[in-house]
Structure 1
Amino acid sequence: MEAKGSTFLKVTGILMIVFGAIALIVSIIAVLGIAALAAFNDGTYDMTMLYVGGVFALISAVAEFVAGIIGIINAKLPNKANTCIVWGVIVAVMCVAGEIISMIGGSQFNVFSLICGLVIPALYIIGAVKNKA
């Protein structure tokens, strides 16, 4: 018998893989762009926050991608629901931390961005909770 949240967890896992892969590609391009920008920086600008943001985006993208894979693999295993919940929380926390890093770097607080970034991890966590035995 399939758990209640199995399909829900699988669908949100697929979405996390897709968006994680897109974020991975974009963050790699961003890190390369930051490196190119740093090559032309004569020391006038502090590049620390750009590097921190770029590397954090890369790590977040990998976490989202991994969480999606774990969700799909464990969708039919209710005893692994807690593992999925933990990964969903990790991705959600990284989304919030990314917004904080962005604000520290000088950007305005973007509620829309934060909400959009939290929707899929929240749905993933709901699917994992429904999947519990």
Structure 2
Amino acid sequence: MNETRLKGKTMLKVVGILYIIFAALSILTGLLAVVGGAALGVAGGESLALGLGVVAMVLGVIAILSSVFSLVVGILGVKWCNRPDKAGALFVLGVVLIVLAALNLLSAFSSDSSASVAGSVLGLVLPVLYTLGAWQNKQSLQ
């Protein structure tokens, strides 16, 4: 099959690259939260500082784990953008990303911040584009 005729290839590649960039930045932020939380817990000495430090460390670890998933999704999107036989797996990953982004949006509605809701709505854009690119790529098999 001629690779230039693959639908969704460019979308998967571009969104995959964006996922790689954002995941790398999020991993760095998570590492900073872990290190900062540890420093706060050690230097604080008080129970409040220790508690805040532990919370920062836990949130940092969660951010790192979710970012590693995004990094893998981005790498696979770039690697398999010209492989319509792998588009089914990319589509499933895209659906998982949409579900996670939708859950994030639902939790943002519980906050009073419209900026949080707007950010979560924007957070749905990349997963939808990724899934659409995978679906278009999958259609190239037929």
TM-score class, shorter-chain normalisation, is 0.7 to 0.9
Give how far 1:92 is off: 3.5
Which deviates further from its counterpart, 72-81 or 34-43?
34-43
Range that drifts further, 55-64 or 68-77? 55-64
Tell me by how many angstroms 1:98 deviates.
5.3
In structure 2, list runs of 5 or more residues that go unmatched: none
- On the 8 A contact 2:12/2:78 being kept in 1, the answer is yes
Between Structure 1 and Structure 2, whose CA radius of gyration is higher?
Answer: 2
Counterpart position of 1:42: 46
Tell whether the 8 Å contact from 1:95 to 1:118 is kept in structure 2 after alignment. yes
Offset of residue 89 of structure 1: 2.9
Deviations 1:85-114 (A, max 9, x none): 22223333444555677899xx64621121
What is the alpha-carbon distance in structure 2 between the residues aligned to residue 90 and residue 59 of structure 1?
15
Counterpart Cα distance in 2 of 1:76 and 1:24: 27
Task: Pick 1 or 2: higher relative contact order, CA cutoff 8 A, min separation 6.
Answer: 1
TM-score, normalised to structure 2, is 0.76
Residue 66 in structure 1 maps to residue 72 in structure 2? yes
Q: Distance in 2 between matches of 1:35 and 1:61?
A: 20
TM-score normalised by length of structure 1? 0.80
Give the direction of change, closer, same or farther, for the CA distance of 1:36–1:81 in structure 2 (3 Å limit).
same
**RMSD, aligned CA:** 2.7
Q: Could you tell me how far apart the structure 2 residues matched to 1:99 and 1:54 are?
A: 20
List structure 1 runs of 4+ shifted beyond 6 angstroms: 99-104
